[in-house]
Structure 1
């Protein structure tokens, strides 16, 4: 494997042989990069803009917030398929280091949608939705940190230090 191919693989980009696995194998690298950026930005914009609907969630109409928030998270995850392709993305999501958080993330997204659409008392659905939204957010952060070298280790150290368990000077 050439040096350029090993560099591309180390940052999660596919080699020429792996392009057949991508969403659009005929797309150039630049086009797939644009696809990734656009999908990722739209996902994050939806997630952030969903908070303009937070009051409707609290008032008993969770669907506008939940749909925007969860769709934004879903698009952000799918964006990496432009670079890695569905097969490699699936392999990464189900690797030993990410399987648990991937399952938790998907369950929290599906659970958030289900709870929002199933008719139930606001006293039950609101606390449940808030927990699922927080879990979804935490899973997204932890999942994302798994792609940053030493991301999770650094986050653990920061949390220990913030909580007084860092054993500092």
Structure 2
């Protein structure tokens, strides 16, 4: 049984979940920590939550392609899909750890631009109702999503930057 528990803790560590330490849990007695401790999910519930949220996010993103010619509906569906897919990872690692990773100095600017582009896309689609501005905001959102995602892969952003610089180098 001990080997099974050790294997489960390794799996939890690999997928980004925090391994439960009873002594550390007793030390944190604040109200928020107490609330979080009482609202924990099992590993199976976390995986189900991740799968449902991720599939819903991908479905919204793919369904947004159907209404591509209507930028307002497209922006709403595409943004909802991005938010669901982003929220799905909170099931695996927990919202507290995800927020900590999002504001990590390595990706704080990418996170800011990504969240800002989501807000701009929704504002352009729902309030301004300008097709051109909505389309530009969606392009910004997609680019910032790619840049934000690359921040989780070591050296990926520097590699993409070098490739783009080589492609768009105008010196002959």
**TM-score, normalising length: structure 1:** 0.75
Distance in 1, matches of 2:84 and 2:133, equals: 23
- Paired positions, count: 154
SS in structure 1 of the partner of residue 57 of structure 2: helix
Distance in 1, matches of 2:44 and 2:163, equals: 36
CA contact (8 A) 2:53 2:88 kept: yes
Structure 2 partner of 1:56: 70
Structure 2 partner of 1:117: 126
- 1:72, CA displacement in angstroms? 0.3
- 1:28, CA displacement in angstroms? 2.1
- 1:164, CA displacement in angstroms? 5.2
- 1:69, CA displacement in angstroms? 0.8
User: What residue ranges of structure 1 are gaps of 5+ in the alignment?
Assistant: none
Q: Which has the larger radius of gyration?
A: 2
User: What residue ranges of structure 2 are gaps of 5+ in the alignment?
Assistant: 1-5, 26-32
Structure 2 partner of 1:81: 90
SS in structure 2 of the partner of residue 76 of structure 1: helix
Structure 2 partner of 1:69: 78
1:3–1:154: structure 2 CA closer, same or farther, 3 Å change rule?
A: farther
- 1:99, CA displacement in angstroms? 1.1
* Aligned 1:1-169 pairs, distance under 5 A: 8-9=12-13, 12-17=16-21, 25=40, 27-57=41-71, 62=72, 64-119=73-128, 125-163=130-168
CA contact (8 A) 2:124 2:137 kept: no
Distance in 2, matches of 1:33 and 1:153, equals: 32
